[in-house]
């Protein structure tokens, strides 16, 4: 499988610079998604759960 993939990449003349830039872009997208979606959602859920625990304790 890897041999066929490398033949495809070299046959199309894709440089390693293009592949590196693509990988960096993908990692950047993952980090942006984490910063924009995962972190705020987790913070909100933690806040709600702590608020609920305080109200049940009263």
Q: Is the pLDDT of residue 43 over 90?
A: yes
How far, in Å, CA of 14 to CA of 44, rounded? 43
Q: Is the pLDDT of residue 50 over 80?
A: yes
Q: Is the pLDDT of residue 1 over 60?
A: no
How far, in Å, CA of 20 to CA of 26, rounded? 10
Instruction: Give me the pLDDT at residue 42, please.
Output: 95
Residue 32, helix vs strand vs coil: helix
How far, in Å, CA of 46 to CA of 52, rounded? 10
**H or E segment and range at residue 24:** helix 16-33
pTM of the model: 0.55
What pLDDT, in 10s, does the model give residues 4-21?
A: 666 666 666 667 788 889
CB contact set of 9 (below 8 Å; sequence gap of 6+): 19
């Amino acid at each position: 499988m890897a041999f066929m993939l490398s033949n495809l990449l070299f046959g199309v003349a894709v440089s390693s610079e293009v592949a590196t830039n693509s990988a960096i872009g993908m990692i950047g997208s993952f980090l942006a998604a984490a910063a924009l979606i995962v972190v705020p959602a987790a913070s909100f859920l933690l806040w709600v759960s702590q608020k609920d625990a305080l109200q049940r304790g009263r």
